[in-house]
Each structure stands twice: as C-alpha cells, then as structure tokens.
Structure 1
C-alpha cells in the first residue's frame, strides 16, 4: 500500500529530529570525554605520573598543642617548647632495622634505642609513626633532612614538648606528663587515637593528669604522598587540630616560689588560702624536684635518688600527707565543748602537770603544770590537761562531728593526686577497724590532737579559714578554664555561735601576741597585719614511764626520724581576716619555734604581695630576717596583695 506524501513527510521529520538528538548527545559525551582526557593527560599529568610510580597517599594525625597553665595573674606555669624529633613508619621503611642502622651513622643512637624502636614498631600498626629520637639539636635534625632520600620511611619533624619554667615550685600541684603506657591505655574504655602514637605524652600526675581530657586538645590530620621507597614527596593538605584548654590556677607564682624557698630543704608542707573565696594562693611540698626530668627522660640514678631520699620528695605532703594535728586541734575541741555546753567561758581547769585515768597518767607538755586555766589561757599556753578534761566531758562523737564541720576528715575535691581524707575517729570506727571498743584514754589523746586523729596541711588550712570566718569555706585550685570562671563553692554559715568563735579567736590571738604565748616569738608587730595562730607538736614515738622519770630525751638528741612533727596554723589580719596558713614540718621538733616563723613569713608575704617591710618583724629579729632573705633563691616576680573575688 502506498504511503501518502503527508505520511512520508511526517516520518522524515521524526527521523531528522531523532538523529539530531542522538547526534547532540554523542557530541556532548565526546566533548566530556575529551575534556576529561585533557585534564588527566595535561592538567593532572604529574599526579598520575607519581601514582604510576606506585606512590601512596597516607593520612597522619597531627598532635595538638597541649593547653597552657597559668597562675592567677597570667604567669606561665606549664607551656610548650619546640622539639626537633625523627620518626619512622614501618610500612614505608621496608627493612626497619637496616634503616635504623643507617640513621645511627647520622645521629647518636644506642643499641638500646634501636631495640626499643624495633619493639615499638612490632607492637603497633605498620602505618603508625614511631618516634626514634627527640630533642635533637639543629645540626642532627638538618643532617637527617639532607639524607632523607637514603632513609625510607624516616621523617624529621618539628613538634612541641611540655616544659615547666618554674621547675620544682609547682611540681606537686601541676604534676608532669610522660608517654602513654599500656597501663594508661588499659584503664581507658575508648582511648583517643592520639594515645596510640608511640611516646605521645599525657598527664601522669597532679593537675596534668586530672584535667588530661581538657588539656590534651583534639588532633589534626594531614595527607601526605610518599613514593615507592617511602620518601615523603609532598603534603597534599592539612587540617590543624584544636589546642587544649587554657587553665588558670588560683595560685600566685610569686607566693608559691617564696613558700618553696622558705621551706628550703625541710621535709615539710605549707598551704595559704584566701579565707573569703577558698582560693588556694600557695600550696607546696618540700623538698620538690624538677618535673622537666620526667618529660625529657629521667635516668635510672636520678629516679633512684628521688625514691630513696628520706625526705620523700615524690610525695605531695600538702594533700597526701596526714599527721596527728597536735595542739592545732584544740580549737576544734574547744568549739565542740562550748557548743555542747559542757564548759563555760569563765570556767577554769586546774593543771598540775598531769591528770590520772585509772592507774595511768596523761601528762601535760609542761611538767610542773600551768595552774588554773580558762579557755583563752588554755589556748595561749596550750595546756594539755585542760583539753583532757573537756574532751572527756564532750565525748569523741561530738569532737569528730565538729572536726568534719570545720573541714577535717574530708577528702576535698581538688584536681590533685591522692588527696587524703584524714581521720576523725568515732567509737564505731574503732570497733570496725581495730576490733576493740573505744576507751576514755582514746578520747584524752584525741583531745590534744594525738591518737587516731589525722589531718593533712590542706585540711588544717581549711579548718583555720572556717574558724576565722565562721563560714564553710571550700578550697578552690582552678580559677578558670578557657576564660570561663570556675564557681566559688561553699561560704554559707557553719551555724556556730559567733560569741564562742570570738573566744577561740581571742585565744589564737593570745598565742602569738601575749607574753607567755607559745608562739610569741613569731608575732607580727605591724598593726595592719597582726596574726592569730596556734602551734602544735605531735609525737611520733611513745615516751615510757622510765624515760619520764629519768627526764625526757630532747628532740635534738634523737635521730631525725624520731623527732616530733612541728605544726602551726594562722590567719591574718586578726581584725579582718584575708589569708589562712598552715605549716607542717616533719620531725621539726617544735611547732612554735620551727613551724611558727615559717607560717608568719608566708602570711606576711601573702598579705603584702611581696617581701614585707622589715618593720613588720620584732626589732630583735630584723637582722636575721634580712640575712635569711639574702640566702633565699627567689626567682619569681612579686605579685599584688591578696584581694578577694567573692561577690
């Protein structure tokens, strides 16, 4: 059947349109292919040439800069310094041992260094860079860079390493960092990939450990291109990580430096607190050590010297050490007795040098006795018999309850290692822990801060701040993180009778400022900085009846480790308290003669914001004070006087 001319024309139009569409599509595909071929053959020729040579692209982590730590005025306490190091990547190196031996011809590497690197390389994934050596000098670093083509898998890097400019002054506060160990990783549920980098440093002790997650920061990444022999050809791109948080402490660098220098080589601890805010202005443990030794790699002999030292420099005595508080505990017993109504301010107790309980004598430190003692006089002269009597009346339960109310027997929440709880004993505690009943003699001993009672220097400072203010002052070590102020906790009333507190404060004032007071020699004569305080001496050995009869051996005739501990607590100014101080000198013998002058000097330094005028000291002591200052290795600048930040 013949098609009509109209049908023929319509069919021709459809064929032409389809051909046009198909042709257009083919042209477009050819054009795209052509453009892509041009891009690959011309624009990306170098890239594909490298890939053709079996180059590989690796993604590596960039360790972040660790967060900085500053004092309350912005002075640097823990920072980062440039560190030249060399790393090796097993998957790029081929024969790792051979490469390391080549590297040893360029820089000092011992057989132990090579073996350690090989062990770490076997333990970790092939793509993980292993640090071979760090803290290289510029000459060694340059030598490696020049010889890089002959060292497959070896990369010289410039990184950051921790350093502590104040050396030992903040060791027991800040702690130090060190390589993450298998033990560290085992304690973590999901370790940060950064920690898998061999010899990556994390906080090991103190604030560095407690705030590790904040100080570490977050890793960056970089894409690098390496050729067939493992040589890095170029860095394709990089994404920087985020530096760790900036932490500001409440401590004052100048005061901390002074306190450390003032304690010298004593086995001792001291704490200075703002009594309004609870800010810890200074907290030291002596002797100290340089934490940079641990960052850079401490030697065996250096570590053994620290561990075997009889003054225990590795221990943080300020928060970890617990001691019988001795007579510094008498304010606690006095307040417990006053609140319970078992003694009145006017009542006196007669001291004849001892009191008897059954067939046993409990002695006063003054062999001939003090005579009639009221509350204020009992503190001024530190009469033991007075406190035997009132402790027996009030009982251990109320004494311990008052101790906890004043901040003792509590592990205060500070970002420091091994913060001790101390001990405020009760009858139940003794049955549970010793398996025997509480005795009246135990109460006598507790009444003078001996026996089972234990407190740290930090707790003694908190107790003193609370007595000075009548408020529940809570210690604070971190002032801000990344500029965000940490809250000031506590500060509410303790609910103690203000008149009773005034009596105890008057007794503490008399200890230092009244003739005959146990610490009269440690007084301050500047009316604007008058100090109130209490001395304490705690025994570390039993004195037998035979020794008492023959005459008690004086401390200076005993071996150092059998001498009494010396303690002192103080606050000032007396009329408007701003700072509380506690000092413990292990085996220092006398609280008033050894710990008292240290506490006085620390308090004056804190109140003055630097070395106080000599006129603040008794005239007959000024030459000695001036000589003492000239011998102190002070390196930190003075700061301003303490000003409270509590609203």
Structure 2
C-alpha cells in the first residue's frame, strides 16, 4: 500500500531535522576538539615544551666557595682545598646494588661506606645527589670517569673542602666546619636549599659558626642534559653562585703560635689585647686540638681521646672559662673605694694578719701581717686585710658597679661560641639566685676576688686595658670583611678620676719592678718593655692547703694581668693557669714572656730578662714547639 504524499513529506522533514541536529552536534564537537588542540598546541606550547624539557634537563645547585679567614698579616687561617668525590643520583641510577657492585671495582669502598651511602640515599629525595666517597685520589676519579657509560647516575666531581693550615693554633677561636646534620636543620625555620646537599659543610663552633651568614655565600645553578637512561650528556648552562665573604682577623699568627706554645702542658688560657683599639692580637686556650679532625667527621677513638683528657682540650677557656679572679680583682675594689671617697690614696690601714668579723677571722695570705699599709703597698704586696676593710666601707654594690664598668660581669660581643658573662655579684643577685640576703662576709670575700665573683681571661684582659687607658674600649676580633674595615668600639672615658687611675698604675708597676713586688722576678729590663701587673691566686678549696702536697686538680688557680710598656701602654695581657699554684710563680713568668714576644715582634733576645732568670727562660724556650715558616714544628731559634 502506497503511503500518502502528506506522510512522506512529514517523514522527510523529520529526517532532515534530525540530520541537521546530529550534523550540528558533530560539527560542534569537532570545533571543540579543534579549539582544544589549538589551545594545547599554540597557546600552551611553551608550557608543554618545558615539561618535555624537564624529562631531559636537570637543574642542580652549585655549592659556593666558602669565604676564607686570614690573620692580620694576611696569613691564611681557614682555607679551601680541592676535594675529588663521587656522587650518585638515585632516580638516574637504576639498580643501586648493581651500580655499587661495579663502582667498588673501581674505587675503594668498604661495606660501611656502602651502607652509609645507601642510608643517605634513602633519606634524601630521588633527585638530590648523594656523596658516595670523597677525598679520593685523582687516579680513582679518572677510573670512574672512563667507565661512566656503565655507571648510570654516577658522576665524578671536583669540590672544595675546608682546611685549617695552622692546625691547633686557632682551633678554639676559629672553630671548624662539618657536614650538615638533622639537628642543624631542625634549628632553622626555612633552611637554605644548599643545606640539603649531602656533605655540605657549615660552621659548627667558633667563628665558623658565628659568622656562617657571611662565610657561606649563595648557591649557583647548572642545567645538564640527560638521556633516557639518566646519564649526563652535557652541561647546557651554568650560573655561578656568590662566594662567601673573606674575613681578616685582628690576630697575629706568629704571636698566637708563641702563646699557644708557651702554654703547652698546662690547662690554661691567655689573651693579648691592643689597649687602644681593642684588637685581640692573640687568644689561646691550652691544650688545643686539630680542627681538621672534625671537618669530615671525627673518629670515635680521636673524640674519646679529647673528651677523656682531664685538661679539657675541647673547652675554650679563654672566653668560656670563668674563675675566681683572686687578687687581680683588688684593682676593682681599690678603684671603687677610692672613687667613692671612703679612703684616700695615702691613708693607711693596719694589717695584723687577719680581720675579725663577728666570731670569724678573715686571714691575710701573710700570717704575720703587713703592718700599716696604703693603696700603693697594698697592691704591690697584695695585702688582703686592706681590701677587707675597703669592702666593709664601700659595700658590694659599688664594687660590682666598678667591676662592670671595667668589663667584668659583662658578656663581650665577639663571634665565638659560648662567651661567658661572669659574675659581678650584688645584693639583689644573691637574693634572686640563692634566696638569701647578702652578708658583710660575702663582701670581704668578693673584695679579694673570691666568693661569688667570677671572671674570664677575656674579661680580665679588658679590665686591664681599660685601667691602662681610662677608656671603655671593647674587644674586637674581626678586623675586616671583604676588605671593609670593621669599626672600633668604645664607650669613651670611664669616668674614673685620672689621679686614682694613676695611683693604681703606679702600684701595678711596683708589683713587677719593686723588690718587694709579688712579681719582681718576672720583670723586663728595657724601658720600652717595662710592664705593670697584678698577681692573683684563687682557691679551689675552702681550706687553705700547700699546693705541692695535693693532687693537681685540687691546687689553686694562678692568674696574672698586666699592661706594657708602662710609660706608653700598647698591650694588655691576661694569663690564667688552672691549678697552677700561685700567680707569681706560675702565671707571671708566662705573661712576661708573652709581653716580650709581643713588643719585640719576634722571639726577643735573652738580655731583655734579668740575668738570674735567663738560664731557666732559655731552657723553657728551647723546649717550646714553635711553628717554622714552612709550617713544621721545632725548637725555638732564640737570639
């Protein structure tokens, strides 16, 4: 049966409409695809090109060269030396076990080395290079380079490592660097990406740590092309980082070596300071250690040897050690009392050998007493009773105020580790520290540098420099940074009467140059070397004992401070010898030799010393391990 024309036409219209809808949909869909393809191929072409580039181009950090450290004469103290090493990138290496097996045939790697490297690889991101071995010989590195096609992800590199050419001489002040540890990273909120590089070295202690900000520098980058197997094909570009700043210190390497050698065998410290600029010319702590041992990680046996030494070589006694200053503190008490007007320079006080306070007797070191004695003689002969009397008159608060004015009880701002503040006690300090009231007897003990008073060798040197000049000079260790001179700091005049200072200086001169002075045997003969000093002996036991009859660690500490030349002061020196016995017998001779070496500029001739002392001085000097120009050690070449 034939369909009516009307139905046929209606059906054709429906088909045509559907076809148009379907065709339109297809055309729209094709348009969307075309638009998307254009967007991806044209508009986002650069982004996808970079994504493709990342599959064959790696960007790696270039560690900067660490800044160098020099002494005041330009002699290197901390240098950088070439270090041949092998690194591996985990994501490029493939089978690590197979790679290490091949590598061990080329370079000496122990099981412990491999285990350490694997542990480090697992801890780090896959793209971070990990050092497998360093400090390799050139021959070993060459073997790896020749066999590079068989070692995917393994690259020989030439880097820099820290070296301390003067070894033990500057160990405590400069410190050392070492690999970044998890503890180091934990202390930083936003660690520098450089610190993620395994074996990257940062300052651990001393100047290296305190001036890490300027010594480290900033990283560079390099773009390298790798093939599908992860092998480095070529270096495409390199942007060098910024080298760390170079530091020049105020220290003199020749004087530093002499001081360190003169303290050999002792547990001691000494400071030599320019009284006008505050420049630290030498700062020694004995015994010392070789900082190069720590650069790549010290062995257990070496570390045990250092920590088990009863002379504590790792402790920097020059700034960290605090000691009862003994009779050197009488300078402070004398200035406080005379400035307060409770005594005059010519006024005498009777010393019977003790001062009675209630039922207790405070004894003088001279049991028979000194008789009537004034400021000059009390310092020259180191009478204790004179200062007991001054302390009772002036009080501890004014003594402590004078101590801080002279630099004791103050933490001096030097870029060294754990600088001690010391203690210049007050009534309030004792109440807050011990919950007890201050007693008059505490003042008497403090007046002679015992009791609660504590000072470091650095503070004693600052005190002496300020007494010598009347100026509030501050110690300075860094002379320049990248040749830019660092400022000399001073608080200006101390505000102490010039007459009082002059009286104290004259008394200090007599300590070393008067036959009745406690350091007369440690004098120097030339007028341009004559020193003015003060001896000190601080007890480590509450009971007075004969130092010869007790173990070493129970003997008194020996101290001596001085400035020289007397008529035109240039340097201040402090010496502290732990358990040395007596300041006049142990510390003063050391300070005398240091003054002679510092003022002469080299090892001085023996005729600058009293004739009766020359043989013993020659014997000491002949045994001193002084550094020669070639870096070796040997006996002194004395004149």
User: Do the two structures share a fold, i.e. TM-score over 0.5?
Assistant: yes
Of residues 591, 599, 603, the one that matches 1:611 is 603
Partner SS state of residue 248, structure 2: strand
- Is it true that 1:66 corresponds to 2:66 in the alignment? yes
Deviation at 1:228, TM superposition (A): 2.6
Residue matched to 1:194: 194
- Is it true that 1:82 corresponds to 2:82 in the alignment? yes
Residue matched to 2:244: 244
Deviation at 1:151, TM superposition (A): 1.2
User: In the TM superposition, what whole-angstrom CA distance separates every residue of 1:353-384 from its partner, at most 9, and x where no partner exists?
Assistant: 11111111111111111111111000011001
Counterpart CA distance in 2 for 1:441 and 1:198 is: 58
Deviation at 1:636, TM superposition (A): 5.5
Residue matched to 1:127: 127
Retained in 2: the 8 A contact 1:566–1:585? Answer: yes
Partner SS state of residue 214, structure 1: helix
User: In the TM superposition, what whole-angstrom CA distance separates every residue of 1:211-235 from its partner, at most 9, and x where no partner exists?
Assistant: 1010011111111122233322211
Retained in 2: the 8 A contact 1:216–1:243? Answer: yes
Counterpart CA distance in 1 for 2:294 and 2:230 is: 33
Assess, with a 3 A threshold, how the Cα gap between structure 1 residues 328 and 297 changes in structure 2: closer, same or farther.
same
Counterpart CA distance in 2 for 1:407 and 1:612 is: 31
Matches within 5 A, 1:572-611: 572-611=564-603
Of residues 533, 551, 560, the one that matches 1:559 is 551
Residue matched to 1:269: 269
Counterpart CA distance in 2 for 1:624 and 1:296 is: 42
Deviation at 1:104, TM superposition (A): 2.1
Residue matched to 1:493: 493
Deviation at 1:538, TM superposition (A): 0.2
- Is it true that 1:117 corresponds to 2:109 in the alignment? no
Counterpart CA distance in 2 for 1:538 and 1:416 is: 26
Matches within 5 A, 1:78-477: 78-477=78-477
Counterpart CA distance in 2 for 1:569 and 1:257 is: 20
Partner SS state of residue 282, structure 2: strand
TM-score (norm 2): 0.89
- Is it true that 1:630 corresponds to 2:636 in the alignment? no
Counterpart CA distance in 1 for 2:265 and 2:143 is: 44
Retained in 2: the 8 A contact 1:526–1:615? Answer: no
Retained in 1: the 8 A contact 2:179–2:296? Answer: no
Partner SS state of residue 361, structure 1: strand
Deviation at 1:55, TM superposition (A): 7.0
User: In the TM superposition, what whole-angstrom CA distance separates every residue of 1:161-184 from its partner, at most 9, and x where no partner exists?
Assistant: 000000010111110000111111
Residue matched to 1:19: none
Range moving further from structure 2, 152-161 or 601-610: 601-610
Retained in 2: the 8 A contact 1:253–1:636? Answer: no
TM-score (norm 1): 0.88
Counterpart CA distance in 1 for 2:410 and 2:149 is: 62
Residue matched to 2:46: none
Range moving further from structure 2, 357-366 or 458-467: 357-366
Counterpart CA distance in 2 for 1:314 and 1:351 is: 43
Counterpart CA distance in 2 for 1:582 and 1:156 is: 51
Counterpart CA distance in 2 for 1:180 and 1:636 is: 35
- Is it true that 1:571 corresponds to 2:563 in the alignment? yes
User: In the TM superposition, what whole-angstrom CA distance separates every residue of 1:589-608 from its partner, at most 9, and x where no partner exists?
Assistant: 01111100111111111111
Deviation at 1:154, TM superposition (A): 0.7
Counterpart CA distance in 2 for 1:202 and 1:467 is: 39
Deviation at 1:627, TM superposition (A): 2.7
Counterpart CA distance in 1 for 2:628 and 2:71 is: 12
Deviation at 1:516, TM superposition (A): 1.5
Partner SS state of residue 379, structure 2: helix
Retained in 2: the 8 A contact 1:524–1:617? Answer: yes
User: In the TM superposition, what whole-angstrom CA distance separates every residue of 1:540-585 from its partner, at most 9, and x where no partner exists?
Assistant: 0111xxxxxxxx5410211111000000000000011000000000
Retained in 1: the 8 A contact 2:177–2:205? Answer: yes
Retained in 1: the 8 A contact 2:514–2:520? Answer: yes
Counterpart CA distance in 2 for 1:182 and 1:114 is: 20
Partner SS state of residue 204, structure 1: strand
Residue matched to 2:22: none
Partner SS state of residue 580, structure 2: coil
Retained in 2: the 8 A contact 1:408–1:423? Answer: yes
| Count of aligned positions | 580
Deviation at 1:298, TM superposition (A): 1.1
Residue matched to 1:25: none
Deviation at 1:637, TM superposition (A): 5.4
Counterpart CA distance in 1 for 2:105 and 2:412 is: 54
User: In the TM superposition, what whole-angstrom CA distance separates every residue of 1:16-64 from its partner, at most 9, and x where no partner exists?
Assistant: xxxxxxxxxxxxxxxxxxxxxxxxxxxxxxxx9xx99x97211111111
Counterpart CA distance in 2 for 1:210 and 1:188 is: 15
Retained in 1: the 8 A contact 2:271–2:283? Answer: yes
Counterpart CA distance in 1 for 2:449 and 2:616 is: 32
Retained in 2: the 8 A contact 1:253–1:637? Answer: no
Residue matched to 2:613: 621
Residue matched to 1:15: none
Residue matched to 2:27: none
Counterpart CA distance in 2 for 1:444 and 1:380 is: 19
Assess, with a 3 A threshold, how the Cα gap between structure 1 residues 433 and 346 changes in structure 2: closer, same or farther.
same
Retained in 1: the 8 A contact 2:163–2:292? Answer: yes
- Unaligned runs of 5+ residues in structure 2 are 1-48, 631-639
Counterpart CA distance in 1 for 2:334 and 2:79 is: 47
Retained in 2: the 8 A contact 1:55–1:225? Answer: no
Range moving further from structure 2, 96-105 or 250-259: 96-105
Matches within 5 A, 1:455-534: 455-490=455-490, 492-534=492-534
